[in-house]
Amino acid sequence: MKLSLYYITCLFTLLFVSCKDDDNPVVDYAYHAHIMQPSSADKQIGDVMFIQVEFESHTGENIEHINIRIFNKNTNIIVYDKPSDPHIGHNGDNYDYEDQITLSAANGFSEGDWVIEAKVWGAEHEQDLETESVEFHIHN
């Protein structure tokens, strides 16, 4: 009798432990951000700089969040930070972001070394975060 009770207890324990929640599968976004423009070539104050970034998921998942920043490499002062709401919830595994900005003092630019940084991540905060950056120099 004790042996039967022991086996029944072990069986229920095994069944309880082996059950898992399949409602929340792990998603592999396999994101990449590709900065197509600007290049690392030197620029001049007064130039119009085109921004083109391709975001993609190599596993076919939707593009959920993106961010593009431009900041001074030495002071870390950010002069460009878009989109204002990083949650784009794009239905598709490829998203192209395009914009342009004049390299001027009015927009916060000065001579020096600068970085454009593109980030893409999943549904949760910085889930599968992928970052790419390009450095460039601005002359007066």
DSSP for the chain, written as a single string: -HHHHHHHHHHHHHHHHH---TTSPPP---EEEEEEES-SS-EETTPEEEEEEEEEETT---EEEEEEEEEETTT--EEEEE-SS-EEEESSSEEEEEEEEE-SGGGT--SEEEEEEEEEE-SSTTTT-EEEEEEEEEE-
Is residue 34 within 8 Å of 51, Cβ to Cβ?
no
pLDDT of 107: 98
User: Which pLDDT does position 17 carry in this prediction?
Assistant: 52
- As a whole number of angstroms, the distance between CA 76 and CA 108 comes to 12
Tens-digit pLDDT profile for residues 78-106: 999 999 999 998 899 999 999 999 999 99
Look over the chain and give the mean of its residue pLDDT values, rounded to a whole number.
89
Residue 6's pLDDT band, with cuts at 50, 70 and 90, is: low
pLDDT band for position 9 (cuts 50, 70, 90): low
Mean pLDDT, rounded, for 46-57: 98
Q: Name all domains of the chain by residue range, CATH numbers in brackets.
A: 31-139 (2.60.40.730)
> How much of the chain exceeds pLDDT 90, in percent?
74
Q: What is the pLDDT of residues 14-40, one digit of tens each?
A: 555 555 555 667 788 999 999 999 999
pTM for the whole thing? Answer: 0.80
104 Cβ neighbours under 8 A, 6+ residues apart? 45, 46
